[in-house]
Amino acid sequence: MSTRATRSPRRRTVVALGVVLAILIAFVVRLVDIQVVNADDHVADSVRMSLGASRTLYGTRGPIVDETGDVLAGSILLYDGQLDPSNVGPVERKAADGTEVEVPWEQTSAEIAAITGQTAEDVQKIVADARADNPNSQWALLIRGLSTEQFRALADLELPFLSFAPHPARTYPDGAVGGNLVGFVGTDGDALAGLELTQDGCLTTEDGHESYSVGKDGVVIPGTLKTEPATDGGTLQLTINRDLQWYLQQMIAEEVQNQAAQFGTAFVVEVATGKVRAAAEYPSVDPNNVDASVPDDRGSRIFTTYFEPGSTFKAITAATLLEEGAATPLTTVTASSSESFPNGARINDHFSHPALTYTLTGALIDSSNVALSKFGSMVSPEVRHDWLERFGVGRTTDIGFLGEEAGELHPVSEWDNQTLYTTTFGQAFTVTVPQVASAYQTIANGGVRMPLTMVEGCTQADGTLVKPELPGPERIISETTAKTTSLMIENVAVQGGLAESIAVPGYRIATKTGTAQKYDPVTKGYKSGVYYTSMVGFAPADDPAYVVMVTLDEPTKVTSSAATAPAFQKAMTQVLKTYRVMPSSSAEPELLPKYK
């Protein structure tokens, strides 16, 4: 048996062990609570305290690419150089002989300036000003937007008071190529114009976040790092062909200068699909240097400028007559170069001629306003108004470009005596370049309108492809009407006065010119001797593949639509070459008579 003397120490030992065990259990429970159960809360608390740190993880804004995948807009990393004024001073470096030498601030500031493009005095002043504002200042901005090369060169200086904050930035590898379409972003990365803005939902990123706790020595405390990764933007693929866009921008810039015009455009649509393959204009904007362009040049006049189409819409009047059964290509009217109509309207042609018995085809070839007025009167004004609407006048295209205009088509009730006739030859209503191109795409495509589009789709960061929502094909006129109208405007190209200027060897072409007067809102009349000239057509006319339209605003060397002939010929030639379109299978169309 145990004596009282031996039991007492044993009890004390058991009690002591129990106490120690209880303490250990409490410690373990608390440790589990801190490091497992409530770890997130404790890390968050530490981050909010002085030992916490965090930084933004930037996503990469999605690229904009052309139809072949070539980049029109991309993202790069730039760096903001930062100084710690409290730490600025002489630094120790190894000399060539291996000894330590002291390099003064005056020298290192000059080394910094040589890389950043500043002066040593500029760099020294940044530090001096920061210290003057706050003697204990630990931060001052040296310079924003350092390139990777500059960042590496500065990092190689190994200056302890110099640090860098990376951030994404936008770059446009081909400069102004497609600049008016692509648009641009601000210095803060926010989309400001063009497709950068309208397609921002595809391109934009979701920034991530990283937080952690650090010890007094600045080392990250293990287990405190929390990361929410960034999500990159999607890839926006356009229908535009970069190489064709580049060529047409160079060409239209040259033609604008040759003709001393205000501006010019060149627009290309694929007949079978409605895809826009080029939308070039001059003046243009380089998204890398937006401030170098005046505000009016930073958008796209192709979509925001509306004008009276003039004679290009005589083909639409002809198609209306054919579809309504009111005329054929050989139906005739007698027309002089200037006539008064029963309601008192006076209509003039652009050239003087005696009374001629024009066929409908001949009226298009000579572009006779008087003859078209008589032909157009073969159907009611209401019918012509409805067909203009069906061909897209008065509404925006399906492209939906930023700021795209709809043009204007007044109701018939507002047509006066003059408008009753001028609407037959493209006056008293307004259109945009895409609207005219769409009307000709419809004729070239056998009477079926394809919705115009400039966006192929958006491939999101997870690989999902999102296509634009577009209406389906729509039959506007019969195939017979389309083919007959095509033959008539092909006769315009062959028998018209610009036949030699616009010819592309080996290809049959259908074209129509337009010389539109410009309305003056001040005088409420047309400007004298000032015109908006255009030419639109498609090729090969026997198997249409592409519609091309070129315009010049107020050309002064040649003021008629002949000013656009060189630009049209160059543009069409390049389009056919770019897409390797086979030459026409026959030499020329059936020639239709101009007169009877």
Which uninterrupted H or E stretch holds 246?
helix 242-258
| Cα–Cα distance for residue pair 549/536, rounded to 1 Å | 4
What was the pLDDT predicted at 588?
87
| Cα–Cα distance for residue pair 244/580, rounded to 1 Å | 12
Q: Are 552 and 533 in contact (CB under 8 A)?
A: yes
What was the pLDDT predicted at 214?
62
What was the pLDDT predicted at 24?
76
SS (H, E, C) 192-229: CCHHHHHCHHHHCCECEEEEEEECCCCCECCCCCEEEC
| Cα–Cα distance for residue pair 28/396, rounded to 1 Å | 71
What was the pLDDT predicted at 520?
81
Q: Are 332 and 459 in contact (CB under 8 A)?
A: no
Token duo for residue 246:
């580049």
Residue 146's φ and ψ, nearest 5 degrees, are -70, 140
Residues 238, 239, 240: CA angle, nearest 5 degrees: 90
What was the pLDDT predicted at 47?
46
Q: From first to last of the 596 residues of the chain, give the pLDDT tens digit.
A: 455 555 566 666 766 677 677 777 767 666 666 555 565 565 555 545 445 566 677 778 999 999 999 999 999 888 899 999 988 999 998 888 878 889 999 999 999 999 999 999 999 999 999 999 998 888 899 998 898 899 999 999 999 999 888 878 899 999 999 999 999 999 888 999 999 999 999 999 887 877 767 665 556 677 777 877 778 899 999 999 999 999 999 999 999 999 999 999 999 999 999 999 999 999 999 999 999 999 999 999 999 999 999 999 999 999 999 999 999 999 999 999 999 999 999 999 999 999 999 999 999 999 999 999 999 999 999 999 999 999 999 999 999 999 999 999 999 999 999 999 999 999 999 999 999 999 999 999 999 999 999 999 999 988 999 999 999 999 999 999 999 999 999 999 999 999 999 999 999 999 999 998 888 878 878 888 899 999 999 999 999 999 999 999 999 999 998 999 999 999 999 999 999 999 998 888 999 999 98
Sign of CA dihedral 571, 538, 566, 407: negative
Token duo for residue 112:
């910094």
Q: Which residues pair with 239 in a beta bridge?
A: none
What was the pLDDT predicted at 278?
98
Helix (H, G, I), strand (E, B) or coil at 308: coil
Residues 507, 512, 513: CA angle, nearest 5 degrees: 125
